[in-house]
Amino acid sequence: MEKNPEVKMQMFAHITEWQSSGQTQKSYCIDHRIPYHVFHYWFKVYRDQHSVNQQPASTFVKLKVASSSNTTYAELILPDGKRLLFHQPVSSQYVKALIG
């Protein structure tokens, strides 16, 4: 269906008109005597073609990351093998609540 450029231009014009009409696709198709499946096909072609055109080219952006200290303040290894890493001081009540 997409091989005829005149049909493509005509259907793209209908899609643009439909978008500004405020109607549903179905009601627009009824009013303009366009089979719904034909409109839906061309809308998919239109959407696919326009989404490709609107996507910016992917580029890499230089990212500056502040240095962070990943040092561990304390490590608690439980009898079942689970480990708790603390990166800052915590109270004994907090640790007791964690291991409950």
Residue pair 14/32 in contact (Cβ under 8 Å)? The answer is yes
Confidence of residue 18 (pLDDT cuts 50, 70, 90): very high
pLDDT at 2: 61
**pTM recorded for the entire structure:** 0.50
Confidence of residue 38 (pLDDT cuts 50, 70, 90): very high
Has residue 56 got a pLDDT over 70?
no
pLDDT tens readout for residues 88-97: 888 889 888 8
Has residue 71 got a pLDDT over 60?
yes
pLDDT at 37: 94
Enumerate residues 6+ apart whose C-beta is below 8 A from 31: 23
